[in-house]
Amino acid sequence: MEDRKRVLVMEDDMSMRALLSLTFRDAGYDVLESTGTSVPDFLAGPVDLAVVDINQPKAMDPERIALVRTVFPSVPVIAISGYFPTQAQAMSMLASRLGVERALAKPFRREALLQAAAALTGRGANGSGRRGLAP
């Protein structure tokens, strides 16, 4: 039986949270959802990846990232926001500044999200969990 990866989706917008969760479930991930307001929201066990919405337009205050790092110190994090720049070089610098493995500017393509998730969780790009195999 395949080892399913578990993703924590921290997004306060209910519609966006549902869309992100559906995207991951359709790709074969287990999903844990949180509005990101407190630690008890997501203390339901270990996760393999966290997708965290940063909704601070100017300060880019990484409170939610700090919250995830407190509970899951070694879990890779993808930060998402409608306030991020869209240039690839700026995204790399922003990820480094926020202390996360990846940053994605909304709106992003489903494929970009799933490719980042696959790279950070060790799953195959097609979501199968297999590496190095051609489709």
Residue 135 clears pLDDT 60, i.e. is over it: no
Kindly state the average pLDDT of the residues 125-132.
39
Each residue of 81-127: pLDDT tens digit? 887 877 767 778 888 888 899 999 888 999 999 999 999 998 765 44
- Give the span between the Cα atoms of 64 and 17, in whole angstroms: 15
Query: What pLDDT does 6 receive?
Result: 93
Domains of the chain as residue ranges with CATH: 6-121 (3.40.50.2300)
Is the omega angle on the peptide bond into residue 107 within 30 degrees of 0, that is, cis? yes
Counting every residue, how long is the chain?
135
Of 65, 78, 64, the closest CA to residue 106 belongs to 78
3-state secondary structure of 30: strand
* 12 within 8 A of 37, measured Cβ to Cβ: yes
Tens-digit pLDDT profile for residues 18-51: 999 999 999 999 999 887 766 555 566 789 999 9
